Amino acid sequence: MTGWRKSSYSANGTDCVEVGHGVGVRDSKAPTTHLALGPAAWSAFLTAAKADKLTR
């Protein structure tokens, strides 16, 4: 997967969530691993995040 983008909400360059074309998500501290997500799962994640329905 190429074309990773860092979250604009990251406070600095080391503690970031990155999103890749395809769709995948990874932690910038562990760039060799990522969570692959299909379009439906990515859409559901974004919907939940925007509605503040993610648990911590």
| 1-56 residue pLDDT tens | 458 788 777 666 667 778 887 778 888 788 888 888 888 988 898 899 889 888 76
pLDDT, position 56: 67
3-state secondary structure of 24: strand
What distance, in Å, lies between the first and last C-alpha atoms of the chain? 27
Q: Where are the beta strands (DSSP E) in the chain?
A: 5-6, 17-20, 24-27, 35-36
Domain boundaries, the chain: 5-51
pLDDT, position 14: 66
Judging by DSSP bridges, how do beta strands 35-36 and 24-27 pair with one another? Answer: antiparallel
